[in-house]
Structure 1
């Protein structure tokens, strides 16, 4: 295994990444001026990238509660931002970022890092890469099947409920309505206010 460069990160990669990916990721980390940090769980994002400036390194953060495959894909997403900035001076989810992300995903797919179901979902995802894997319902669902937390075993995906079903989310009651492109319109029963929900939101059916 390549020797770890001091101060790049302060945790064991083997605790967060698939075994077959560790050497490649270690090489990627060692080849750039980067600080990799774990973050406590965040509901709306899984990772972030901050470009290097004024002598400080690039900074990538990844949520510490992700399963190993989601952690790796999130890390590659942020590395693609790093490469897009260093090579193309772009911070957007534009064509430069998509190209770098696609190359990285292909590299790890070729190394047989991912199980077959994730591999197939990624190959489909790469035909039209989105700014977040959460926007790809199929990929998100496959990745979530590798989550190990069971404390919410009674929860179901919103997309699996029938229209007009009632459900609880964050201790509030809602009614599921129609699909609006990629999100479901839902109405909070108490306030009558409408909200958009991701199809893979985990809810309790009433």
Structure 2
């Protein structure tokens, strides 16, 4: 547990110690993965949670609790349940509840997280407002959200250059400048603006 201290909000540590006290699950901190923030696996008789290394303590805590909920749901109901089915949702709500406190999360993030937890989804990224608020706590001075850019702006995402063509109802239509293919981006995607 001591290894996790640097990645978590300080006021969450006591509650997390209580939660993890009797759980036989290994927690690993991994390099950043682009497609997920964390993962739970049962491998060779071992339960393993992996969490991306991040400076965003709130994302780390939310992801850790999300993955602990997977572990508890599978422990109680077996491995044939749906990954984000009712069993997982109920576990996630139950174990997140003690952490939904102003001593742990900043006010706006707490409000959005409470709303999300009323009906949790597989990823906090599916809730644009919550995703943006969580990403505000990432330490990356060069990044911007797509919604902060203007039509015509050029940006870099995953080492490729794009230009914003237009805003649609919920997403932004962008042109990959290398392939001339069009792609849709969610407003909460973080990119690097290229000054031309």
Asked if TM exceeds 0.5, the reply is yes
Q: Please tell me whether residue 130 in structure 1 is matched to residue 121 in structure 2.
A: yes
The equivalences for 1:50-89 within 5 A come to 50-51=41-42, 54=44, 56-89=45-78
| 1:168 paired residue among 156, 159, 173 | 156
The equivalences for 1:31-42 within 5 A come to 31-42=22-33
Normalising by the residue count of structure 2, what TM-score does the alignment of the two structures yield?
0.84
Q: Distance in 1 between matches of 2:130 and 2:166?
A: 22
Check conservation: 1:158, 1:203, Cα contact below 8 A.
no
Instruction: Return closer, same or farther for 1:19/1:70 CA change in 2, 3 Å cut-off.
Output: same
Normalising by the residue count of structure 1, what TM-score does the alignment of the two structures yield?
0.81
| 1:119 paired residue among 94, 110, 123 | 110
Instruction: Return closer, same or farther for 1:50/1:198 CA change in 2, 3 Å cut-off.
Output: same
2:20 alignment partner, SS class: helix
1:174 alignment partner, SS class: strand
Q: After the TM superposition, which parts of structure 1 deviate over 3 Å for at least 4 consecutive aligned residues?
A: 162-166, 177-185
Aligned residue number for residue 159 of structure 1: 147
Q: Please tell me whether residue 108 in structure 1 is matched to residue 99 in structure 2.
A: yes
Q: How many residues align?
A: 192
| 1:142 paired residue among 130, 133, 139 | 133
| 1:95 paired residue among 86, 89, 107 | 86
Kindly state the Cα deviation for residue 63 of structure 1 after the two structures are TM-superposed.
0.9
Check conservation: 1:20, 1:111, Cα contact below 8 A.
no
CA distances 1:91-116 after superposition (whole Å, capped 9, x unpaired): 51112211211122212114842121
Kindly state the Cα deviation for residue 136 of structure 1 after the two structures are TM-superposed.
1.4
Check conservation: 1:169, 1:204, Cα contact below 8 A.
no
- List runs of 5+ in structure 2 lacking aligned partners: none
Greater RCO, CA 8 A, separation 6+: 2
Q: Distance in 2 between matches of 1:148 and 1:26?
A: 26
CA distances 1:108-154 after superposition (whole Å, capped 9, x unpaired): 1148421211110101212332211122111121112222333x2xx
Aligned residue number for residue 204 of structure 1: 193
CA distances 1:34-91 after superposition (whole Å, capped 9, x unpaired): 101100111221100012x55x331001111241111000000101111111122225
